[in-house]
């Protein structure tokens, strides 16, 4: 069975760079900031770029964050999710569908230009999930 990863996924509504640099000062570790071109290609974020995904890894801990989507501002209580990340497509797809049972599908697992598949859901307990099947 392949390894999966769970971490908090935080929508920081335009403040991901600032927050992740702050968390890095507190926790140490390494921050990676990514943005997306208009064609949907993922690339390292430069100064002033909208952050589509930020990762802070420190001593085995991971925080994943985003600037969110300007058209869909985060509401308090909905700005935090659990990120589930793995490479075993069959396993992660099954987990995604089990988590969605009795909940609300917000976005089906869909392939991104990076090769990863990402889906969004609210489980029956009111917890948001961002599920990613990474490209093998």
**pLDDT of 19-38, one tens digit each?**
999 999 999 999 999 999 88
Asked if residue 68 lies in contact with residue 12, where contact means CB atoms within 8 angstroms, the answer is yes
**What pLDDT shows up at residue 72?**
78
Higher pLDDT, 76 or 57: 57
Q: Which residues of 85-116 are buried (b: 16+ CB within 10 A; e: fewer)?
A: bbebeeebeebbeebbeebeeeeebeeeebeb
Q: What is the pTM of this model?
A: 0.79
Total H helices, total E strands in the chain: 2, 9
pLDDT at 39: 85
Tell me which fold the domain 4-133 belongs to: 2,3-Dihydroxybiphenyl 1,2-Dioxygenase; domain 1 (3.10.180)
pLDDT in tens, 69-102: 878 788 777 789 999 999 999 999 999 999 999 9
């Amino acid at each position: 069975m392949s390894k999966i990863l769970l971490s908090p996924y935080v929508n920081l509504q335009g403040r991901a760079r600032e927050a992740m640099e702050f968390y890095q000062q507190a926790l140490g570790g390494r921050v990676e900031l990514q943005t997306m071109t208009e064609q949907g290609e993922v690339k390292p974020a430069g100064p002033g770029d909208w952050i589509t995904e930020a990762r802070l890894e420190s001593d085995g801990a991971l925080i994943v964050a985003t600037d969110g989507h300007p058209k869909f501002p985060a509401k308090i209580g909905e700005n935090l999710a659990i990120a589930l990340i793995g490479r075993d497509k069959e396993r992660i797809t099954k987990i995604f569908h089990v988590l969605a049972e009795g909940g609300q599908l917000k976005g089906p697992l869909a392939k991104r230009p990076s090769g990863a598949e990402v889906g969004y859901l609210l489980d029956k307990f009111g917890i948001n999930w961002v599920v990613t099947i990474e490209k093998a």
